[in-house]
């Protein structure tokens, strides 16, 4: 059952004419559905009370859920349990899983599924532990898209089977195993359901993608000025939602003030800080590489989308000579993804739909939620949108009552202070600090820094020593120029993570969905310190601490007295005091 509130409704067994029917969900196998699938099944009833918005249809893309018992049988019959529990490399595990046979009793259903539908399918994990532990595991396991458009059904079937096996294999990859251990769960107890779902989108030449994908949260961990956490926050992107969940550049705004100007000083800055590349399902031929999650994905540049004609509702046009920014794509100039036709001019009331979705889901779950959605938008013959709800999950919202004011931030013993922090409460007992040494930082070396952090993290985690981590730029960024591109498991031992800024690297605070969902749900404090903040970070004090280890870019120091880190979740203020 779902972790909070009422359980998800049961769904019927898969019918081989499923995709020709009007059913939203069906089940292959007799086990459980896992967190993600349960969330979507539950959302069906929440959607029933959604207030309609003109010209916009809202629904859940049809999905078949391969229940958890199939995963268990797959592992058991192929004798994969030992390999799964081993420290073998991920690739070796993936190859072994791909070489194994799926339980024969589901093969006919899977074949029928690809016989019925010839449009891209998303094969996603739906973990049982996610449900049971109330911990988000999205982004931890593999999600694979398959174009599913080959003429020969056998070819489509083969790609689907590979995708299912890769999702199964990802259950025992290194990253999720470390993650599960970090939250006190036994990786061997994980059981995986798999969602096979139609991808919301449209085909443009060899690319298939939605005009808009979005992640919306009813609680904002980074409320800007004039916003409250309960206002929520929305990130929109062109193309597949991978841009957002991987922490790439997306358009982030408050759903209460969708037309509010973004925090950019100029149109040039806006152009520089908006999305320029997007993800799509690659419908063209690709080299066969079934163990690569992005095998059938392609990242394209904005001009390609312009040629596709998919920017009508999502772009403005900037003429650098006149510095005019005109909503839409009617004028000649550089396209800039600010979603102004939707958010400012409301050609389609997408934001209203998002607010409604947040409202009904939050009401149903009884707590703050995060949703993922995708939309296909048509402007001819009349504006019309089809919105697909892809995921609903509860957020771990702030609860402990603490209060900090500016005077607290200016405390003489403050190692660092922040006015933009995530999380809530007090963290004590941290006596280790791992930080990027400002003089040694090089934005070209962020991948190396990630590897150095991982090494130190592993040692500290093994010694069960929580630590405070300070780095420059956006942690978990998929763009190595915007920050340090770590996966969550590489810093899983950190209890406090600090995102410091350098003068030339003042990117927007992070909103990478999966990474920060992990941060939030694990109760990790996440502090952002701009380069010109006063007070900011006391680098001199750190430099005087006892060094445990030094790497080309990092320093690990151990303190005589543990830090006390306090985060006021309501104001976003935070301070770390040394003894």
Partner 1 sequence: MNSGRPKPYNSFETAQEQFDAVATRLGLDTGTRELLRSPLREYSFAIPVRMDDGSVRVFRGFRVQHNDARGPCKGGIRFHPLETLDTVRALAMWMTWKCAVVDIPLGGGKGGIICDPHNLSLAEQERLCRGFVRQVVRNVGPTLDVPAPDVMTSGQHMLWMLDEFEAIRGEHLPGFITGKPVGLGGSLGRTEATGYGVVFTIRETLRELGLRAEDTRASVQGFGNVAQYAIELLMQLGGTVTCVSCWDQKDQVAYSYRRRSGVDLAELRSITDRFGGIDSKRARELGYEVLDGDAWLEQEVEILIPAALENQIHIDNVDRIAPTVRLIAEGANGPTGPRADAVIRERGIFMIPDLLANSGGVTCSYFEQVQSNMNYYWSRDEVLGKLDLKMTSAFRAVAELAQRENLYMRDAAYVIAVTRVAQASRDRGWV
The site map against partner 1 for 287-326 (x = CB under 8 A) is: ----------------------------------------
Please spell the DSSP secondary structure of 382-442, one letter per residue: S-EEEEEEEEEEE-----S-----HHHHT-TTEEEEESEEES-EEEEEEEEEEEE-GGG--
CB atoms within 10 A of CB 6: 12
Least distance from partner 1 to the Cβ atom of residue 157, Å:
6
- Please write down the HEC assignment for all residues of 38-97: HHHHHHHHHHCCCCCECCEEEECCCEEEECHHHHHHHHHHCCCHHHHHCCCCHHHHHHHH
CA distance from start to end of the chain: 46
Least distance from partner 1 to the Cβ atom of residue 46, Å:
32
Q: How far apart are CA 75 and CA 64, in angstroms?
A: 21
Phi, psi (5° rounding) for residue 283?
A: -85, -5
Q: Between 50 and 158, whose beta carbon lies closer to partner 1? A: 158
Q: Interface residues for partner 1 in 73-112 (CB under 8 A)?
A: 73, 101-105, 107-112
Least distance from partner 1 to the Cβ atom of residue 462, Å:
40
Q: Give the three-state DSSP class for 18.
A: helix
Which residues are 537's β-sheet partners? 416
With CB under 8 A as the contact rule, which of the stretches 127-135, 152-160, 251-259, 367-375 interacts with partner 1?
152-160
Q: Between 73 and 292, whose beta carbon lies closer to partner 1? A: 73
Q: Between 70 and 574, whose beta carbon lies closer to partner 1? A: 70
Q: Contact with partner 1 (CB under 8 A): which of 3, 50, 158, 286?
A: 158
Q: Between 9 and 101, whose beta carbon lies closer to partner 1? A: 101
Least distance from partner 1 to the Cβ atom of residue 112, Å:
6
Least distance from partner 1 to the Cβ atom of residue 463, Å:
45
Q: Which of 118, 46, 40, 341 is nearest to 211 (CA)?
A: 341
Q: How far apart are CA 47 and CA 59, in angstroms?
A: 8
Alpha helices in 323-392 (DSSP H): 340-343, 350-365
Whether 574 contacts 417, CB under 8 Å: yes
Least distance from partner 1 to the Cβ atom of residue 147, Å:
18
Please give the DSSP secondary-structure letter assigned to residue 489. Answer: G
Q: Between 91 and 101, whose beta carbon lies closer to partner 1? A: 101
The vertex-107 CA angle with 373 and 40, nearest 5°, equals 20
Q: How many residues bind partner 1 (CB under 8 A)?
A: 18
Q: Between 111 and 203, whose beta carbon lies closer to partner 1? A: 111
Least distance from partner 1 to the Cβ atom of residue 20, Å:
15
Look up tokens 């025992």; give the residue. 172
Q: Which of 564, 572, 380, 341 is nearest to 466 (CA)?
A: 564
Least distance from partner 1 to the Cβ atom of residue 104, Å:
5
Q: Between 60 and 161, whose beta carbon lies closer to partner 1? A: 161
> Would you count residue 157 as binding partner 1 (CB under 8 A)?
yes
Structure tokens at 468: 């405070």
Whether 506 contacts 531, CB under 8 Å: yes
Q: Between 105 and 405, whose beta carbon lies closer to partner 1? A: 105
With CB under 8 A as the contact rule, which of the stretches 36-44, 155-163, 238-246, 286-294 interacts with partner 1?
155-163
Q: Between 105 and 301, whose beta carbon lies closer to partner 1? A: 105
The site map against partner 1 for 10-49 (x = CB under 8 A) is: ------x---------------------------------
The site map against partner 1 for 108-127 (x = CB under 8 A) is: xxxxx--x------------
Q: Which of 392, 380, 378 is nearest to 350 (CA)?
A: 378
Least distance from partner 1 to the Cβ atom of residue 110, Å:
6
Q: Contact with partner 1 (CB under 8 A): which of 28, 46, 96, 161?
A: 161
Q: Which of 67, 70, 59 is nearest to 23 (CA)?
A: 59
Longest CA span, the chain:
71
Q: Between 7 and 154, whose beta carbon lies closer to partner 1? A: 154
Look up tokens 């020593």; give the residue. 465
Whether 575 contacts 405, CB under 8 Å: no
Q: Between 105 and 547, whose beta carbon lies closer to partner 1? A: 105
Least distance from partner 1 to the Cβ atom of residue 168, Å:
13
Q: Which of 129, 246, 223, 253 is nearest to 424 (CA)?
A: 223
Q: Give the three-state DSSP class for 219.
A: coil
Least distance from partner 1 to the Cβ atom of residue 470, Å:
49
Sign of the Cα torsion 151, 154, 158, 163 reads positive
With CB under 8 A as the contact rule, which of the stretches 34-42, 52-60, 151-159, 243-251 interacts with partner 1?
151-159
Q: Between 109 and 568, whose beta carbon lies closer to partner 1? A: 109
Q: Give the three-state DSSP class for 174.
A: helix
With CB under 8 A as the contact rule, which of the stretches 132-140, 156-164, 174-182, 184-192 interacts with partner 1?
156-164
* Residues near partner 1, by CB under 8 A: 16, 73, 101-105, 107-112, 115, 154, 157-158, 161
């Amino acid at each position: 059952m779902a972790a909070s509130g009422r359980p998800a409704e049961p769904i019927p067994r898969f019918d081989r004419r499923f995709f020709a029917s009007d059913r939203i969900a069906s089940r292959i196998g007799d086990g459980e559905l896992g967190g993600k699938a349960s969330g979507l099944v539950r959302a069906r009833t929440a959607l029933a009370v959604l207030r309609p918005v003109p010209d916009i249809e809202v629904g859940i893309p049809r999905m078949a859920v391969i229940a958890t018992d199939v995963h268990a049988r797959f592992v058991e019959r192929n004798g994969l349990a030992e390999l799964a529990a081993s420290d073998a490399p991920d690739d070796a595990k993936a190859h072994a899983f791909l070489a194994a046979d799926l339980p024969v009793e589901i093969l006919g259903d899977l074949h029928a599924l690809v016989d019925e539908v010839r449009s891209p399918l998303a094969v996603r994990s739906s973990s049982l532990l996610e449900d049971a532990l109330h911990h988000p595991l999205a982004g931890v396991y593999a999600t694979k898209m398959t174009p599913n458009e080959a003429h020969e059904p056998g070819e489509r079937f083969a790609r689907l089977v590979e995708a299912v096996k890769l999702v199964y294999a990802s259950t025992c990859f290194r990253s999720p195993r470390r993650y599960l251990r970090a939250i006190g769960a036994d990786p061997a107890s994980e059981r995986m359901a798999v969602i096979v779902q139609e991808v919301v989108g449209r085909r443009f030449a060899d690319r298939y993608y939605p005009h808009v994908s979005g992640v919306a949260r009813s609680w904002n961990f980074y409320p800007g000025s004039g916003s409250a956490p309960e206002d929520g926050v929305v990130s929109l992107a062109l193309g597949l939602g991978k841009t957002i969940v991987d922490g790439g550049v997306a358009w982030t705004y408050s759903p209460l003030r969708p037309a509010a100007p973004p925090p950019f000083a100029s149109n040039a800055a806006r152009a520089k800080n908006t999305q320029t590349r997007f993800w799509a399902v690659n419908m063209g031929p690709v080299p066969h590489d079934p163990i690569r999650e992005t095998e059938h994905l392609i990242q394209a540049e904005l001009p390609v989308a312009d040629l596709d004609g998919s920017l009508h509702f999502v772009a403005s046009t900037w003429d650098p000579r006149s510095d005019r920014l005109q909503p839409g794509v009617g004028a000649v100039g550089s396209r800039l993804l600010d979603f102004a036709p939707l958010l400012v001019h409301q050609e389609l009331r997408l934001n209203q739909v998002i607010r409604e979705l947040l409202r009904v889901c939050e009401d149903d779950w009884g707590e703050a939620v995060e949703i993922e959605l995708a939309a296909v938008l048509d402007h001819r013959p009349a504006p019309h949108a089809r919105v697909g709800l892809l995921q609903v999950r509860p957020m771990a919202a702030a609860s402990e009552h603490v209060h900090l004011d500016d005077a607290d931030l200016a405390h003489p013993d403050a190692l660092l202070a922040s006015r933009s922090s995530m999380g809530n409460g007090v963290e004590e007992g941290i006596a280790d600090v791992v930080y990027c040494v400002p003089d040694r930082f090089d934005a070209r070396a962020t991948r190396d820094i990630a590897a150095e952090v991982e090494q130190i993290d592993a040692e500290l985690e093994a010694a069960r020593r929580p630590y405070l981590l300070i780095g420059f730029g956006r942690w978990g960024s998929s763009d190595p120029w915007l920050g340090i591109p770590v996966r969550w498991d590489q810093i899983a031992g950190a209890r406090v993570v600090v995102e410091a800024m350098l003068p030339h690297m003042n990117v927007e605070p992070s909103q990478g969905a999966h990474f920060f969902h992990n941060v939030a749900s694990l109760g990790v404090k996440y502090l952002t310190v701009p380069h010109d903040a006063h007070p900011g970070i006391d680098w001199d004090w750190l430099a005087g601490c006892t060094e445990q280890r030094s790497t080309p870019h990092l320093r690990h120091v151990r303190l005589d007295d543990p830090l006390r880190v306090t985060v006021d979740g309501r104001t976003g203020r935070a301070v770390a005091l040394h003894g």
